[in-house]
């Protein structure tokens, strides 16, 4: 039997930004996003959360799935991504930074990246009520492989904070900057998460370690033909260890 392949698409902000924007690739134009969701729909795919994707690997269903992830939990998700998701009955996973809920992407300011508002708890609760999974992206968006990082605080306490504020269980973690090592994976696993996503490039399969799930980056510059190649072909898979 052919192994099931689920591309886990990695988005950040869904927003129109000027040409001069620093790190424009972190944004996707709302019209591009809507077109990408339409492409998935006409190809017979359903957009799902990371936890649905890993459950599908375990159960071996043959449904055509593409998992959709939104790192950092930008407020523009609600206005610029949610309408297209609802239109096609898609789910997704939003990765929130627990200490920075209702603030902005402060960790980026030293790199000259513009301030961009993050969702507050009522926004995140609305996501949950719309069937969107909320995952955890650490407490402070620091590199978890840095020296002197407080892993328990960034991984375990962050999970408890989101769970207490949202009254749900948090099952999936996303490594800030894609940085992780064995100690980080141990902390994530011991905290009770069931999966974790990285920035390793590839479409995911049931053979992947659930705590090192690869993803497919979608950026401002991902035109429709490239989007198709990323979802349908080995385009990303051959970049796995590059």
State the sign of the Cα–Cα–Cα–Cα dihedral 68, 89, 170, 190.
negative
Q: How far is the CB of 119 from Zn ion (least distance, A)?
A: 14
A 10 A CB-CB count for 49 gives 25
Q: Supply angle C-alpha 154, 102, 80, rounded to 5.
A: 110
Which of 71, 154, 187, 208: binder of Zn ion (CB under 5 A)?
Answer: 71
Dihedrals phi, psi of 72, to nearest 5 degrees = 85, -25
The beta strands (E) that lie in the chain are given as 5-6, 8-11, 13-14, 27-28, 46-48, 65-72, 93-96, 133-136, 172-174, 195-201, 204-205, 213-217
CB of 11 to Zn ion, least distance (A): 11
Closer of 71 and 208 to Zn ion (Cβ): 71
| 54 φ/ψ angles, rounded to the nearest 5 degrees | -70, -35
- Rounded least distance, CB 191 to Zn ion, Å: 18
Which tokens belong to 184? 């980080």
With CB under 5 A as the contact rule, which of the stretches 14-22, 30-38, 72-80, 186-194 interacts with Zn ion?
72-80
CB closer to Zn ion, 56 vs 172: 172
- Is 154 a binding residue for Zn ion by CB under 5 A? The answer is no
Residue 72 interacts with Zn ion (CB under 5 A)?
Answer: yes
By the rule CB under 5 A, 123 interacts with Zn ion: no
Residue closer to Zn ion, measured from CB, 94 or 204: 94
To Zn ion, the closest distance from the beta carbon of 76 in angstroms equals: 15
What residue ranges bind Zn ion (CB under 5 A)? 71-72
């Amino acid at each position: 039997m052919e192994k099931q392949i689920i591309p886990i698409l990695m988005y950040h902000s869904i927003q129109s930004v000027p040409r001069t924007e620093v790190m424009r690739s972190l944004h996707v134009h709302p019209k591009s996003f809507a077109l990408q969701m339409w492409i998935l729909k006409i190809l017979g795919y359903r957009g799902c959360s990371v936890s649905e994707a890993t459950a599908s690997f375990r159960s071996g269903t043959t449904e055509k799935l593409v998992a959709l992830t939104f790192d950092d939990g930008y407020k523009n998700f609600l206005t610029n991504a949610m309408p297209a998701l609802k239109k096609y009955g898609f789910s997704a996973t939003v990765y929130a930074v627990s200490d920075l809920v209702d603030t902005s992407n402060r960790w980026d300011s030293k790199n000259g990246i513009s301030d961009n508002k993050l969702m507050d708890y009522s926004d995140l609760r609305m996501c949950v009520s719309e069937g969107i999974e909320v995952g955890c992206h650490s407490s402070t968006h620091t590199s978890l492989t840095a020296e002197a990082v407080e892993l328990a605080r960034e991984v375990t306490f962050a999970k408890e904070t989101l769970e207490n504020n949202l009254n749900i269980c948090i099952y999936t973690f996303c490594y800030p900057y894609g940085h992780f090592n064995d100690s980080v994976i141990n902390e994530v696993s011991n905290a009770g998460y069931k999966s974790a996503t990285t920035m390793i490039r590839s479409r995911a399969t049931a053979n992947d370690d659930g705590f090192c799930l690869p993803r497919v980056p979608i950026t401002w510059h991902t035109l429709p033909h490239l989007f198709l190649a990323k979802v349908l072909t080995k385009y990303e898979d051959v970049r796995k260890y590059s």
